[in-house]
Every structure is written in C-alpha cells, then in structure tokens.
Amino acid sequence: MALSGIQIYKLLPQTNCKECGFPTCLAFAMKLAAKQVELSACPYVTEAAQKQLAESAAPPIRLVTLKAAGGEAKAGNEVVMFRHEKTFYNRPGLFVRVKASEGAEAIGKKVAEADAYKVNYVGLDFTLDGFAVEADGGDFAGAVKAVRGASKRPLILIGKDPAALEPGLQALTGETPLLYAANASNWEAMADLAKKYTAALVVSGETPDALADLTQKIQAKGVEDMVLDPGGKNMSQMLTAWTQLRRLALKSNFRPLGYPIIAFPCDAKDEGVAAAQAIAKYAGFVVLSEFKPEAIYPLLVLRQNIYTDPQKPIQVTPGIYEINQPKPESPVLVTTNFSITYFAVANEVEGSGLPAWLVVCDAEGMSVLTAWAAGKFDAERIAKTIKGFDVASKVSKKRIVLPGHVAVLSGELEAELPDWEIKVGPREAVDIPAFYKQVLM
Amino acid sequence: MPIEIPKDKWPGSIRKVTLGATAAEGGTRAKTVTVGGQATMPYLHFEAPTPNQPVVAIEIKSRKPEDWSPLLAEVWGEAMADPAKWAKAAEAAGADLIVLALTLADTPDDAVKAVKSVLGATGLPVIVWGPGQAEKDNELLVPVAEAAKGEKLVLGLCEDKNYRTIVATAMANGHLIQCRTPMDVNLAKQLNILITDMGLPADRILMDPTTGALGYGIEYGYSVMERLRLAALQGDSMTQMPLIVTPGFEAWKAKESKVGEGVPAAWGNWKERAVHWETLTAAALMESGADILILRHPESVKRIKAAISELVTA
Ligand code: SF4
C-alpha cells in the first residue's frame, strides 16, 4: 500500500539539508507521497529506506505482461473490487486452447482461423489475445511451432511435466510466454524453467495458503512474474476463490497473493457463462476451449463493457453526420452523443441504405433515456443543437425525427422550432429502417 | 498461521418478498416463490449463505407479438397465439414465474381474460405488465388487479409517471409491484420512497433498475445494481428491495439477437449468437445481484438456471 507523507518522512535522513530542492525533508516527503518528485532527488536515503519505498510503491496486484512478436497481453494492476469504485484497468486476455495431440496440421489451421478473427464494436476492432498449447502427449515442440507458424500472438504453454514443456519453450525465442503450472510437487523445476526462458509462471494451489506458500518459495528462486490458479470445481468455488484472492491482495495488501488470476472456463459445464463470470469477477487471463465467432464476439463485448471507465462515458463528437449521402430532402434524425446509442442508430440507417442527416446532440455521453431522465436531452438542447450546427442550411424539407423514448418532447420542440415538422420515431434503433420506409418515404 | 480471509460484515440485508398465494393464503397458486434475504454480495457463501436463490421468469404476451425475433417464434410456435398454452409451455421450459405482458390492442376485458387464462393454465406465480403507456397501463391493470384479488400478482411496470394508480390497486387487492427507474441509484431509491409513502408495504416491492443489454449499456445497469446492493447491505432500507431485471427484453431488441441477415460475418452463427447474447446479458446481471431474471428463450432459461444452481451450492 502507498505510504503517507509522514510514513515516508520517517524513512528520510531528517537533516533538512535542502539538497533535494525542498526546504525540509517533510516537504520533500509530501511531494513524494503525491508522486510529484523522484526519490533519487535526495542523495542521502539509505538503501533500506529505498527498498521499503520501492515496495510500498508497487501495485497491490502485480502487472504481468506476456510478450510476443505479435503483441502483448497484460493483466494485473487492478485496484478495486467493484468497477464503480474507480475502474477495472487491464482487460483480461482471451486465449484459445489447442492440444498437441490434435496434430500440427489441425492446430495450424485452427489457429490461423482464430488469429485472423477481427470484429468491430462501436468503432473498435477486437481480436483474440493469444493461444494456449497443451502438452498432452505427442510432439509438443511441433505443436508450438505449428501455432507460431499461424500466429504471432502471446502464448500459454500448459503441462504438469517440466521435461515435457521445455521443448516447447525452446521453440520460442525473444518472447515472454506464460508457463502453466507450478504445483507443490514440481515447483522447483518449473521455477527453473521460467527463469531460464524468461517466462511468467502460473502457480496452482487449492487454497490461498497453498498458493501463498508456493509464490513465496518461487519468488525466492528469482521468479517475479506469477499468475494464480486457484482451481475450483464449479462456478461457486471459482467465484469464492477469485473474490478471496482479490480481497487479500487489495484489502489485506498481502503480497504473496498480489498476482493476476487465470481462469479455465474451457473446463466448465457452460463455457460461455463461466467465461462471463471470469470476465466480471477478476480473471486476468481466460482460456477458452475453441474458436467460435458467435461465442467469442459476446465475450469480447462483455469484456469491453465491464472494463469501460465508469467515470468517462464513451462519447462521439456532437455534430451533423451524413449517412448514405443525404440530399436536401432527406430527413434529419436526432440522437445523443453516447457512443453506443450513436452506433446503434448509425449502423441501422447505414445498413438500410437510406440517406439521412444524423444530428448528434451533446447529452454528456448518456443514452437517450438516461440523458432525458437527467435533464441532458430536452427540447431546448435539441433546438440549440439544430440551430448551432445550422442544420436548416443543409435541408430543403425541415423534418426532424425524435427518438421514440422522448416522444414527450415533441410539443416543446415544436414550440422551440416552429418552422420544423417534428416526427416521433421508434424507441429502438433496430426499428428505424421500417419506420423510415413507412413514414418518411 | 493460516491466512485470514477478509470478510465483510454487513448491518443490512435484502428484504424477503413472496410472490403468489396458494389456496390457503387466499389465491390459487400451486406454490409461492420467495426471493431476497441475502446478507452478502452475490453468492459469497464464505460470508453468509444464499437463503433464497434467484429465480427465472419467462415473458409471454397476451397476443402473438409481431415484432419478436423469428428465432423466438420458431421455439414457441403455435403457443404464442394463446397465452394459456404459452404459459404452460413456459412452465415446461423451466420457468419459476410467468410474466404476462399485455398489449395496446387489449381491452380491459381482453386483459382480464388473458390473465385468468394464464392463472388457470399454470400454478406458478404471475407477473402482469401493462403495455407501457401510462393511461393504458391504468386502464388494463386496475381491472386485472381486481379480478385476481388475493393472488399476489406482481403488477408492472410502475414508473415515475404512472405509479399512483397501480400502487393504489395493488394495495386494495393484495398484489405486489415491479417499479422501474432509468439506470440510477437515486431515482430507484426515490421511487421506492414515494411508493412506500403511499402505504404499500416495502415487502411488496420489486425494484427494476433498467439494465441495458450486452453491448448496449449493460455496464451502467451492472454498476447501478452493485451499488444498490451495497447500499442495501449497508442498511439503507429504501434500497433493500429484491432486484428484478429484464435481460430477455433487453437482449432480444439488440440487432445481435434479433436478426440474422445483413450483419457482419464475424458475428458468427445467428441462433447460437442470439442465445449467447441473452444468456450472457443475464449472466452478468446474475453476478451483479439480480433476484429475478426475466428471459425469453428456453435455452437461455436452461443455462441460467444451471448457473444459478451451481452458484448457490457452496
Ligand atoms: S535532500 Fe534528502 S536529506 Fe536533504 S532535505 Fe531533501 S530529503 Fe532531506
């Protein structure tokens, strides 16, 4: 946990020599606590104090980064139990598992397809984060090479026998994979492997005590980047284990468990639901059994939603957006600048091929209903936007379509914009094309 | 020394609410359903057990809906044209509760008939929604409440604009209400205060915070639910109502579920994606504290019920 200014002061020489540029050690300590200066500005701190300060500055959940030529997968650095308390920072990596026994050819094909997967959601492109390769007999090095031949994304290597895993590690150069897993019986050899090949290491144990015992022993051997696997036979046990580990790291500031968590929905009864729980409840790496777009897309979206910063609604810039080359007689559709609302409307209109002017009002990034309830999307604001962007100069037919959820505003808006015709559209974006064809054409 | 697991000790808990009434209690339900009572954040058995597990309701309509996804029409088939048959099919699909949504086309007589036929077809407790326009809601829900006096129906959706009449008739006829507010902790609390001020006992209120669907604002609903649950546990009696949410309604209006054509290839197989969309929307809400989840597709019902039973076993 971060130290207070007073706690830092106690670690300083307390001579007030001013060499750091501050009149007193206390003043310098306050600046340090606020992270506005570097400790190195004081030439007189002892080594012991330096170590203590560095430790206190370390995040309660260590940031573990898997690296490969094709990208990185980061987990850790989280600071809260509930997203509204601040935000969740590092979106959990989604990894698809292949098994060496499937054979190099099948693996190469499966990985190539999954690697190429890209899906767009509200203007963002999402992909998978990497692959997990399981040493389940057969040619493990060959399997790892087959994956590497088809993808450059980060890897997780899975196996209980260090001797079986090593050929896989040898097949990789210049990257940081994740090694799964060290347990009570193999931890020494696994730690040696992790060190030798600069891999991060998963530690498996069924209780917090067992995990903490192992992480301390492994750390003593010089491995810093660890990931926790508390197991769990069902969703209830997993939720309990993940919650307890997160609490021990954040609330008890218990260093031996201050590492990200790996989850295996691939072994659950309902992979999709188990993966959803892993995303919502603290997993840093998530291993899936197969690549299916219809299953991956909802998980990627859920992950994005849960990891969106709640303090900053995602917004689009207010203004006039032209959809399908509108003409002066095309209708004017009005919506808010909440990005999901905007994209829902824009996608529908675009998909229908029908031309329209889409006017986006500044509603402080809220959806239509929320903004209306909060008084950020009313007749006055809409009228101001229409006038402010001089929408009248673009059109010959002055027609505005209001979202159905704010039908109540139509009277007031008529009063605000007397020379415009106000129409009430559907409540949901998906119904816009039908409404357009029936009412606007 | 073993590691000490940090545990939260909460002064408050979620209020227990019972839906439906058996013959002995003045109704005709084969059984009642009780939700609430939890004294922890969802499913944390190491702090306290889950006294009443969350339940799943299936939404049906008084008339065959024309705007529902063809995937739903496919699974419910003929039953969609007859609320009694539909309710039976929903019960067979594993529903713990039936939600009967009335429509704008219904007259008060139609509405009463539909509710009675559903009550006759199933022994499950029933939730009845008006069509969602304040005047029409009042016009339909008042005669329904009177005709089903003593059944302990849930009447909805009670909103800021229409709660008075619905609450009054719920009080007069021994029913419960579902009150809905737009994704805001304070608005939810405020409406609960207004309603209890009218004299409706707090244990006859279910709170619907509006959630959004996966991909369409669910993160707001998710966090509002967590915040309401935390406030309840901290002892705020006006947020201790059980949470009732509508992932079926939310997910099936999303393009991802509703339609199969003109969508990106990266969305994959339509039918599976649609069910995933509803199931994952519900799964997220289950994690954030839902007590009643209202769904539409039998496959999602099966999946969410299985997940709940896994989560409630320690
Ligand atoms: S340089 Fe170090 S010892 Fe000198 S005043 Fe600054 S903090 Fe104190």
**What's the N-to-C CA distance of chain A in angstroms?**
63
| Backbone torsions φ then ψ of A321, nearest 5 degrees | -110, 130
- Sort A243 into a burial class: Cβ within 10 Å, 0-12 / 13-18 / 19+: buried
Tell me what the mean pLDDT of segment A176-197 comes to.
Answer: 97
Pocket test for ligand 1, best of A14, A22, A45, A53 (most atoms within 8 A of CB): A22
Confidence grade of residue A55 (pLDDT, cut at 50, 70, 90): confident
CB contact under 8 A, A367 and B212: yes
Which residue spans within A369-427 are E strands per DSSP?
A: 399-402, 421-424
CB contact under 8 A, B182 and A370: yes
Strand partners, A178: A156, A200
% of chain B surpassing 90 pLDDT? 91
Predicted TM-score (pTM) of this structure: 0.88
Confidence grade of residue A1 (pLDDT, cut at 50, 70, 90): low
Residue B253 lies in a domain: yes
Q: Does domain A64-306 have CATH number 3.40.50.280?
A: no
Q: In this structure, are residues A197 and A169 in contact, taking their beta carbons and an 8 Å threshold?
A: yes
Q: Dump pLDDT digits (tens) for A331-375.
A: 999 999 988 788 889 888 887 889 999 999 999 888 898 888 888
- Interstrand relation of A319-323 and A356-361 (parallel, antiparallel or unpaired): antiparallel
Mind telling me how many Å the CA of A223 is from chain B's nearest CA? 22
- Interstrand relation of B205-208 and A319-323 (parallel, antiparallel or unpaired): unpaired
Residue B55 lies in a domain: yes
Q: Which residues of A touch B273 (CB under 8 A)?
A: 293-295, 297-298
% of chain A surpassing 90 pLDDT? 76
Among chain A residues, CA nearest to B261 = A351
Mind telling me how many Å the CA of A295 is from chain B's nearest CA? 6
Confidence grade of residue A401 (pLDDT, cut at 50, 70, 90): very high
Residue B5 lies in a domain: no
CB contact under 8 A, B5 and A301: no
Q: Which of residues 207-236 of B touch A (CB under 8 A)?
A: 210, 212, 214-220, 222-223, 226-227, 230
Cα B98 to the chain's mean position, in Å?
9
Cα A99 to the chain's mean position, in Å?
27
pLDDT per residue rounded down to tens, chain B (314 residues): 689 999 999 999 999 999 999 999 999 999 999 999 999 999 999 999 889 999 999 999 999 998 899 999 999 999 999 999 999 999 999 999 999 999 999 999 999 999 999 999 999 999 999 998 889 999 999 999 999 999 999 999 999 888 999 999 999 999 999 999 988 899 999 999 999 999 999 999 999 999 989 998 899 999 999 999 999 999 999 999 999 999 999 999 888 998 888 889 999 999 999 999 999 999 999 999 999 999 999 999 999 999 999 999 87
Of A297, A369, A431, the CB nearest to B267: A297
- Name A374's Cβ contacts closer than 8 Å, sequence gap at least 6: A364, A366, B184
CB contact under 8 A, A243 and B44: yes
Same fold, A5-57 and A64-306: no
CA dihedral A401, A404, A406, A411 (to 10 degrees): 60
CATH number for the domain whose boundaries are A5-57 = 1.10.15.40
CB contact under 8 A, A273 and B307: yes
Q: Which residues of B touch A374 (CB under 8 A)?
A: 184
Mind telling me how many Å the CA of B282 is from chain A's nearest CA? 9
Which two tokens mark A328? 């002066």
Q: Dump pLDDT digits (tens) for B25-72.
A: 999 999 999 999 999 999 999 999 889 999 999 999 999 998 899 999
Among chain B residues, CA nearest to A237 = B314
Of B45, B184, B276, the CB nearest to A272: B276
pLDDT of residue A369: 86
CB contact under 8 A, B280 and A299: yes
pLDDT of residue A49: 85
Pairwise CA distance, residues A358 & A170, whole Å: 56
Closest atom of ligand 1 to A13 CA is 3
Pairwise CA distance, residues A306 & A373, whole Å: 23
DSSP alpha helix (H) spans, B64-213: 70-76, 83-92, 108-121, 134-147, 163-173, 185-197
Q: What is the ipTM of this complex?
A: 0.97
Q: Distances from the Cα of A317 to the Cαs of A183, A335, B124, in angstroms?
A: 52, 12, 49
Q: Does domain A319-440 have CATH number 3.40.50.11600?
A: yes
Which two tokens mark A270? 């309902």
- Cα of A1 vs centre of ligand 1, distance in Å, is 23
Q: HSE on the CB side for B52, CA within 13 Å?
A: 22
**Number of domains forming the structure of chain B:** 1
Residue B186 lies in a domain: yes
Of B6, B218, B259, the CB nearest to A251: B6
Confidence grade of residue A56 (pLDDT, cut at 50, 70, 90): confident
- Name B309's Cβ contacts closer than 8 Å, sequence gap at least 6: B53
- The kind and range of the H/E element at A108 are helix A104-116
Residue B140 lies in a domain: yes
Of B217, B284, B287, the CB nearest to A340: B217
Q: Dump pLDDT digits (tens) for A240-266.
A: 999 999 999 999 989 999 999 999 998
Residue B2 lies in a domain: no
Which two tokens mark B187? 């608005």
pLDDT of residue B216: 87
CATH of the domain at B137: 3.20.20.20
What residues make up the domain containing B112? 17-313
Q: Dump pLDDT digits (tens) for B255-268.
A: 899 888 888 999 99
Of A248, A294, A338, the CB nearest to B267: A294
B304 shares contact with chain A (CB less than 8 Å): yes
- Name A307's Cβ contacts closer than 8 Å, sequence gap at least 6: A83, A87, A88, A89, A90, A91
CB contact under 8 A, A240 and B218: no
- Cα of A4 vs centre of ligand 1, distance in Å, is 17
pLDDT of residue A313: 67
Residue B261 lies in a domain: yes
Residue A440 has pLDDT above 70, yes or no: yes
Among chain B residues, CA nearest to A83 = B223
Mind telling me how many Å the CA of B91 is from chain A's nearest CA? 23
B276 shares contact with chain A (CB less than 8 Å): yes
CB contact under 8 A, A254 and B218: no
